[in-house]
Amino acid sequence: MTVWTISAQEGTGGTRVAAELAAAAQVPLLDREGLSLLAHELDPALPELNELEARFGRFAMLSLSAALSVGAAEAFQEVELRQKLPELGRAVLGEAARASRVIYVPAAFAALADHPSAVHVRLCAPLECRIASYQREHIVDRHCAEKALKREDHRMQAWVKSLYHVNINDARRFSLVLDTSRFSPDRIVELLLAAGGVHTASMAA
């Protein structure tokens, strides 16, 4: 059994790699939407994932005393949610990781850090390469692309740190860190299959 977790910088083709890896390994793919559905099965009162990330982005860098200045009721709700989310995340992802699958969720590497069958993957690339990729995908100018990427990088760092108190850019927490500007998506999938002990006919050839 192998569980691949993929944490990808925006502009590195993470969505494509995750989908193609799941297809090649013939295992299910769990992405953010799938994770949100599983989480709501365990806790129907939980806000949508996009709302959670937005709220944590606003509160993640605040101390409790600073948060209280925003509003006592709101602050205490956020603190309560902060305390609940990490264990809920571990429970949901732990249940998903009982069978082989690809998990394309940024914080999965931290929630499943001790999983014996997990291959934790970080996809990254130089900023200039990511800017060019983002421009092609979203048809925006360079300034807009760079601004969007930096905002997303900051949001993901804050989200993961607020949940599990780890740095998403710490390479030591991953089994593999791949620069997607140096490999084709097909080659990346082959490398990830091999890391998970899965051998295909094309690899043997």
pLDDT reported for residue 129: 97
pLDDT, averaged per 10 consecutive residues of the chain (205 residues), comes to 96 96 96 81 67 54 40 51 75 90 94 95 98 96 97 90 92 97 96 90 50
What distances in angstroms separate CA 37 from CA 53, 74, 92, one per listed residue? 15, 25, 10
Select from 81, 82, 108 the least CA-distant residue to 97.
108
Please give the torsion angle defined by the CA atoms of residues 93, 99, 101 and 104, in that order, rounded to the nearest 10 degrees: 0
pLDDT reported for residue 48: 64
Residues in Cβ contact with 155 at an 8 Å cutoff, skipping those fewer than 6 apart: 53, 57
Select from 3, 7, 9, 4 the least CA-distant residue to 127.
9
In angstroms, the CA 59 to CA 89 distance is: 18
pLDDT reported for residue 68: 40
E strand or H helix at 106, and its extent?
none
pLDDT reported for residue 54: 59
Q: What's the pTM value of the predicted model, to 2 decimals? A: 0.82
